[in-house]
Amino acid sequence: MSEKSEQGIDEQQVQPLSHKRILILMACAVLFGSILCSVFVSVGFGVGVLIGGVLSLVNYYWLKRSLKVIFDEAVAGEKPQFLTARYFMRYLALGAALAVVYLTQLVPIVAVLIGLASFAAAIVIEGFIRLFNSFSNR
């Protein structure tokens, strides 16, 4: 390989992941998806996507807060008390919310699951943004 191609990798600065932009993309994906589903499928389906998106945001913030406590304890030199039950509670709460949606059948469960996937959609959109920015920065 040439010296120039090896230096290009070192010289290229990788931007840190922007949680704020991912959350904005996630909210936009939920709102856009909810509106589209309300128009093209049904209002109940759109509300289900919105409920799933809110659950996804709650799950994100809960996980972020839990991990922050663990890492703050580790940085302070303390042994993090990683209680499996406390971490697992997040999944139980999410499962309970999904069970309520499923049992009441107020909104389609598929719509709620699509809303829950909004975080994944935001990550994919962020990846495309970074990909196209890397081409335009060359």
Per-residue model confidence as pLDDT tens digits over 74-107: 777 776 666 666 778 888 999 999 999 999 999 9
Which pLDDT score, from 0 to 100, does residue 115 have? 93
Of 18, 75, 77, 26, which Cα lies nearest the Cα of 50?
26
Assess whether pLDDT exceeds 60 at residue 4.
Answer: no
Which pLDDT score, from 0 to 100, does residue 11 have? 47
Q: Which DSSP category does 1 fall into?
A: -
Cβ-contact 112, 55 below 8 angstroms:
yes
Which pLDDT score, from 0 to 100, does residue 131 have? 84
Of 114, 104, 121, 103, which Cα lies nearest the Cα of 51?
114
Rg for the chain, CA atoms, rounded:
20
- Long-range contact set of residues 65-68: C-beta below 8 Å, sequence gap at least 24: 66/90
Separation of CA 36 from chain center: 20
This prediction's pTM: 0.76
Query: Looking at residues 105-126, what average pLDDT do you find?
Result: 91
- Long-range contact set of residues 90-97: C-beta below 8 Å, sequence gap at least 24: 90/59, 90/62, 90/63, 90/66, 93/62, 94/55, 94/59, 97/55
Which pLDDT score, from 0 to 100, does residue 52 have? 94
State the angle between helix axes of 109-116 and 84-104 in degrees (0 to 180), rounded to the nearest 10: 140
Highest mean pLDDT among 66-70, 95-99, 129-133: 95-99
